[in-house]
Amino acid sequence: MEKNIEFALKIKEIRERRNMTIEELAEKSKVSLDVLKAMEDGEIIPSLTPLTKMARALGVRLGTFLDDAPQLGPVVVRGGKPNNVLYFSGREDVTNATNLEFHALGAGKIDRNIDPFIIDVNTEEKDYELSYHEGEEFIYVLEGEIEVEYGKESFKVAAGDSIFYDGVVPHHLHSTGEPAKILAVLYTPY
């Protein structure tokens, strides 16, 4: 997909800088070789779960895949509208749809431990699988309402509400009707 070509090239560049073959990355990350090849060719839209697994296998932060040019000083984003926007699927098993629009608020900040995003959530799903990854997620709903399936529980979180949870517990996030907008702060150890 044209809109994620830069992203695809960045993933391939990071893998090659680590002197890792795509087969080695598939084995180490437990992400299928077919998904990795299609991702590096810019053919599919990944979800956060394989990206998190790939980041860990490559020894980088999740945000490394999203950064443009590292900055030593603070990163300022005016009006909640960063220049770079990435589009992802909200599901690990669906790679041909764009359900989440990520506006990276920390892109370029070197040595960060968290990745803040404004995310437009355009998914009202009835059939999905829970996914998991190492780390933590803090979600603050700016507009609309989302539902977070977390283990065997379900939480509806509306504008002005927040939820903070461990990523190792299987989970899924989607809007409950109209599109929602959230502030997400992700911590993924590497």
Q: pLDDT of 41-64, one tens digit each?
A: 887 767 777 888 888 899 887 777
Who's near 100: CB < 8 A, 6+ residues apart? Answer: 87, 88, 89, 90, 119, 120, 121, 122, 123
Cβ proximity of 39 and 11 under 8 Å: yes
Which amino acid is residue 56, in one-letter code?
R
For residue 173, what are the CA distances in angstroms to 34, 74, 147? 25, 30, 6
Stated pTM of the model? 0.68
pLDDT digits (tens, 9 = 90+) for 147-164: 999 999 999 999 999 999
Q: CA 112 from chain center: how many Å? A: 16
Cα angle vertex 107, ends 105, 76, to 5°?
Answer: 55
Who's near 182: CB < 8 A, 6+ residues apart? Answer: 118, 119, 121, 139, 140, 141, 142, 146
* Residue 90 reports pLDDT greater than 60: no
State the pLDDT at residue 180.
94
- The residue ranking higher by pLDDT, 123 or 170, is 170
Beta strands per DSSP E along the chain: 85-88, 100-104, 115-121, 136-143, 145-150, 153-158, 162-166, 171-175, 180-187
State the pLDDT at residue 94.
47
* Residue 85 reports pLDDT greater than 90: no
